[in-house]
Amino acid sequence: MAYYEKRGSAWRAQIRRKGHPTLTATFDTKAEAQRWAAEIEGDMSRSRFVDTRAAMRTTLGKALKQYQEEVTEHKKGAAQERVRIARWLEHPLADKALGEITPSDLAEYRDERLKSGAAPSTVRLNMAVISHLYTIAAKEWRLEGLTNPCKNLRMPKNSKGRDRRPTTKELRKVYEEAAKLHPELPVIIELAADTAMRRSELLLLRREQVREKVAILEDTKNGERRTVPLSSRARELFKSLPARIDGKVFSLAPDTVSNYFAKTCQAAGVQGLTFHDLRHEATSRLFERGFSMMEVASITGHKTLAMLKRYTHLSPHDLADKLG
């Protein structure tokens, strides 16, 4: 027989039936609790009962730690996901059992994060971790009876793509200021704006990967090998760099370059420009030079044309010139 109890804004259902374990679960509404109880009692009557006690004993925090060890550490973006998991572990929901977390719990989390100023993309990525965790828990950890609370939850809409492109004058000032911080920095910045390589792809390059007119990227964001054609200017820039004993093209670390770039822009009086905007700039330049969509995608490594479009901001002045 099922019993119902209102706790705060939620309803707790408990089922006690001879020959079966006592079960409890929490829901947003009494109607949801009653539906759950009816399904469980029906399964018990038809000998199709699934024991969900393991799911009710396992907290989100415990599951996240196991997920990090077994899943996160094998991902390309492990470092970023570890940061997201660390933040989840500090959230009150980390103390709640997986079987007790409701869609309204996550909806409340979503709304609070957006209200606090978090970017929609950040919130989506944080919730994607939870959604995948539930999938792994149900399929691989055999936590029976789990329902993914993210399944039918409305996710924040993606923010508008950035359309910041530096002017020639701004880039000239940035190069000048960058040279004052580190001799490699202006070369890195100009190559980023010319090749469309990501920061990590560029800074992890080894000398043997730069072969005449191309740079061969073995370790990319999507895990696929990519060959990037180099313009005559890019080839000149690579040749201008002294050979290093360790075989790397650059000595600077990715995070150092981002920090230096912010300082450089501030010194140059250039506002609203990020290092990743240089990839946008390079992608747009390729289209302005007449490359087709597929040609640009093969250079930049974008997997979908929709994502490529977000990185492309053609100059309206150039388009006007084409109109005549």
Q: Which residue in 171, 168, 166, 206 sits closest to 187, CA to CA?
A: 171
Q: Which of 65, 248, 276, 310 is catalytic?
A: 276
Active site residue 172: no
Spatial CA neighbour of 282 closest among 158, 143, 171:
171
Does 65 qualify as catalytic in the annotation? no
- Contact by Cβ (8 Å): 100, 26: yes
Instruction: Please tell me which residue in 165, 280, 285, 302 is annotated as part of the active site.
Output: 302
218 token code pair: 């073995």
Query: Exactly one of 110, 134, 311, 313 is catalytic; which is it?
Result: 311
Nearest to 280 by CA among 200, 162, 120: 162
> Is 311 known to be catalytic?
yes
Q: Which residue of the set 221, 248, 263, 310 is catalytic?
A: 221
Alpha carbons 116 and 122: distance in angstroms, whole number: 12
Return the ∠ at Cα 212 (arms to 206 and 215), rounded to 5°.
45
Q: Which of 84, 198, 285, 313 is catalytic?
A: 198
**17 CB-near residues (< 8 Å, 6+ apart):** 1, 41, 44
Q: Is residue 20 annotated as a catalytic residue, yes or no?
A: no
Indicate which residue of 110, 279, 285, 313 is catalytic. Answer: 279
d(CA 313, CA 165): 8
Long-range contacts of range 14-20, CB-CB < 8 Å, 24 or more positions apart?
15/40, 15/41, 17/41, 17/44, 20/44, 20/49
DSSP line for 247-275 = SBS--S-HHHHHHHHHHHHHHHT--S--T
Name beta bridge partners: 15. Answer: 2, 23
Q: Are 238 and 249 in contact (CB under 8 A)?
A: yes
The two tokens of residue 259 are 């920090």
Which residues are known catalytic residues?
Answer: 198, 221, 276, 279, 302, 311
